[in-house]
Amino acid sequence: MSDVTTLAFETDCHIFDGCGFPAPGLHSFVFEPLFTVGGIDFNKPMLLALLGTLAIVGFFWAAFNKPKVVPGKLQLVGEAGYDFVRRGIVYETLGKKVGEKYVPFMVSLFFFVWMMNLWSIIPIAQFPVTSIIAFPAGLAAIVYIMWMYLTFKKHGFVGGWKNVTGYDKSLGPILPLVVVLEFFSNVLVRPFTHAVRLFANMFAGHLLLLMFTIASWYLLNDIGIAYAGVSFVMTIAMTAFELFIQAVQAYVFVLLACTYVQGALAEHH
Amino acid sequence: MSAALQNIAAVTGDLKALGSIGYGLAAIGPGVGVGIIFGNGTQALARQPEAAGLIRANQILGFAFCEALALIGIVMPFVYGS
């Protein structure tokens, strides 16, 4: 039986050879460090995160470096991307006046999450950086601290807690239930699901792609070649599906971040 | 009775793939939920095509909320698994 933690291409075993299927698992998300700098291991996801950041900064720099009234091609694309987040997400949830100051943060968040997701289907890299829980957890923590701070700054200490627990005197007898449920929902469940939604989508998507790719390679033996063809078609289909899901998850991440900020800044009734 | 239970416990202890059964059960609810979301969304689009942008945005938001539960289901076996 092949050892469960070796990568598929390291063994030369196919179906009917007597060794088991080298299934993907948690071990597929652990990487040997490329080099070590001052006690910190630098591995492939970190490299991809760095390259992705440089790509986004480089793109927006090139697009808006010398802006013209009649935009050139790169500026057009940059403006389209910026406007998509500004009008489609921030203005929809926060409104024009209040939302304007959150647009740069939301634009950066959207393109960062989308780029980190896109590494899953870019050849040679082929690893979604956001499938490592640290990245979505860090981003969700930033959003969480941001809206917690905003609600307490706007409403004061007591008002902040009233906002977070959904306290509303006119609710009457069900008020204690609402307070407890809203507290757990806002303070505990929201940041958790915010991070885990993005993480689990990318984790499961990467596992799916791995499964079909390894199966296509593993089945290349005798009669299995026909099935390897089917598996390869599934790989292509899953890649197209992942392309869609990555954009949707980035969109939903930023949409929910704006919704939480809007809830924090909402006036009490 | 207790012998049968012991038998079941022994068998399922060997089954390392219980996580997949757990995920299968966890995916029933979100499957129904996603169907309801997009079904009602399609109906709304048919009734009022000019509201397409609004309807689509709400569809995607609802889909993401629903899908999150199914995906937590697929991740949990790795959290608890060996």
Give B13-23 pLDDT, tens digit per residue: 556 678 888 88
Host domain of residue B53 = 19-80
Nearest to B75 among A88, A200, A249 (CB): A200
Task: Determine contact: B32 vs chain A, CB below 8 A.
Answer: no
What is the domain partition of chain A in residue ranges?
32-265
**Residue B68 counted as domain residue:** yes
* pLDDT tens for chain A, residues 1 to 269: 344 555 666 667 787 777 778 888 888 898 888 888 888 888 999 999 999 999 999 999 999 888 888 888 899 999 999 999 999 999 999 999 999 999 999 999 999 999 999 999 999 889 999 999 999 999 999 999 999 999 999 998 988 898 888 888 887 888 889 999 999 999 999 999 999 999 999 999 999 999 999 989 888 888 888 999 999 999 999 999 999 999 999 999 999 999 999 999 987 65
ipTM of the complex: 0.77
| Helix axes A224-265 and A103-118, enclosed angle (nearest 10) | 170
**Residue B73 counted as domain residue:** yes
CATH of the domain at B60: 1.20.20.10
Q: Per the confidence metrics, is the pTM higher than 0.90?
A: no
Task: Determine contact: B15 vs chain A, CB below 8 A.
Answer: no
The tally of domains found in chain B comes to: 1
Task: Determine contact: B72 vs chain A, CB below 8 A.
Answer: yes
Alpha carbon distance A48, A117 (integer Å): 11
CB A7 within 8 A of CB A22: yes
**Residue B11 counted as domain residue:** no
Instruction: Identify all chain A residues contacting B71, using CB atoms and an 8 Å cutoff.
Output: 196-197, 200-201, 203-204
Interface test with A, best of B55, B75, B76, B80 (most A CBs within 10 A): B75
Alpha carbon distance A103, A90 (integer Å): 7
